[in-house]
Amino acid sequence: MTSEQVTDRLGRQLKDLRISVTDRCNFRCPYCMPRERFGEEHTFLPRRAFLSFDEIEKVVRASIPLGLEKVRLTGGEPLLRPDLADLVKRLSDLEIELALTTNGSLLRRNAAALAAAGLTRVTVSLDALDDDVHRAMSDTDIPVETILDGIDAALEAGLAPVKVNCVIRRGVNEEQAAKLVRHFRGTDVTVRFIEYMDVGRTNGWTLGEVVASGDLLEHLRGEFDLIPLAAERASDVAVRWGHSDGSGEIGLISSVSAPFCGDCVRARISADGRFFTCLFASGGHDLRALIQNGANGGNLTAAIAAIWERRADRYSELRSEETSASALPRIEMSYIGG
Ligand code: SF4
């Protein structure tokens, strides 16, 4: 730890920054952006409110002395932001790990340019292989085939291994889990299953719709011989399980049944420059105003450090019917990128 690196009130460092580059998306996944709340009448952020690439670079540069190791570009759907490869080029020059989370629908068109610009990792959200279930989980007519082709494009561009994130919602897509494992086994694609979470205030989450990772694992072990694998980093959210014959692995992300707040080193920035210290935060800190008032370099680092040092978030560890149902506002996932 260098002299500038800071820890929050629970001793956690700031290592990962998830940066939303747009609040827009071409999907309407009910667990994130239900159409009844994000329909034709929904007012998205005006584009002039977006952090410019220059401002994003300033924030990343200012966070590196604090211990930042990884930036993940998210949305909404980040590939809807024009010229994203230019931002990737800027950030890749900063020698940090650079990842992207996308719904994959625009990946065929962009993978090669993103890889050439310096992107190192891509995660694709895909909740089903069957089109009817995919439609139920994403409320889009873009077929699974397009997403699979996007994954192929990422592999062709050298962005291997590719991670696929699948949110499991009881009664909707739990039957797709084994199909996804079968489909990607023996490839450079790792499927991670995410417990459905009470993010935001619009997805109507209930505990009953959550398939606990332990139950899902037991179901999958009915077909696959899976053995536990060691974590790559203490702060990794996915618990890894590998096929005993070495033909690949899966991951389980269990924010509800096995919270991981103790090792949470992540902060998030919305497209309009608000800094959030937790996915379940009620409010954020306006970095854009700071930057537009001249903050840069050391004083921007100091401002971010001051926010982080006051952090004590551990929502998932404290989650209960009460916390989930409380009247406190909660940031929408589509606004801060999950
Ligand atoms: S609930 Fe908040 S503190 Fe806990 S792991 Fe998620 S983002 Fe981190």
Tens of pLDDT, residues 151-166? 999 999 999 899 999 9
CA 35 to chain centre: 20
Q: Atom 3 (ligand 1): residue with closest C-alpha?
A: 314
Residues 333 and 33: their CA atoms lie apart, in Å, by: 8
Average confidence score pLDDT of the chain: 95
Tokens encoding 227? 């053995």
How much is the pLDDT for 137? 98
Question: Cα separations (Å) of 297 from 108, 258, 294?
Answer: 36, 38, 10
User: What residue numbers bound the domain in which 192 lies?
Assistant: 3-336
Residues of the chain with pLDDT under 70: 1-4
Q: Is 136 close to ligand 1, i.e. is its CB under 6 Å away?
A: no
| Cβ(267) – ligand 1 distance below 6 Å | no
pLDDT of 295 reads 92
Instruction: Tell how far CA 303 is from the center of its chain.
Output: 24
Distance, in Å, from the CA atom of 321 to the CA atom of 49, rounded to the nearest integer, reads 35
CA distance 337 to 20: 5
Count of structural domains, the chain? 1
Beta strands in the chain (DSSP E): 16-20, 70-74, 97-102, 121-125, 162-168, 189-195, 226-228, 239-243, 249-253, 266-269, 274-276, 285-286
Given this model, what pLDDT does residue 3 score? 58
Task: Give exposure, 261-298, as e/b (b: 16+ Cβ within 10 Å).
Answer: bebbbbbbbbbbbbbbbbbbbeebbebbebbeeebeee
Burial of 222 per CB tally in 10 Å (0-12, 13-18, 19+): exposed
Does residue 195's CB lie within 6 angstroms of at least one atom of ligand 1? no
CB 1 within 8 A of CB 53: no
What's residue 292's pLDDT?
Answer: 95
Task: Give the model's pLDDT for residue 110.
Answer: 98
How much distance in Å is there from the Cα of 16 to the middle of ligand 1? 12
Distance 268 CA to ligand 1 centre (A): 11
Measuring from atom 5 of ligand 1, which residue has the nearest CA? 261
Predicted confidence at residue 221, as pLDDT, reads: 98
pLDDT of residue 30: 97
Helices (H) and strands (E) in the chain, counts: 12, 12
Ligand 1: nearest atom to the Cα of 315: 1
The closest residue, in CA terms, to atom 4 on ligand 1 is 261
Q: Would you state the pLDDT for residue 324?
A: 75
CATH number for the domain that contains residue 331:
3.20.20.70
Q: Which of 74, 194, 261 maximizes ligand 1 atoms within 8 Å of its Cβ, making it the mutation to test the pocket?
A: 261
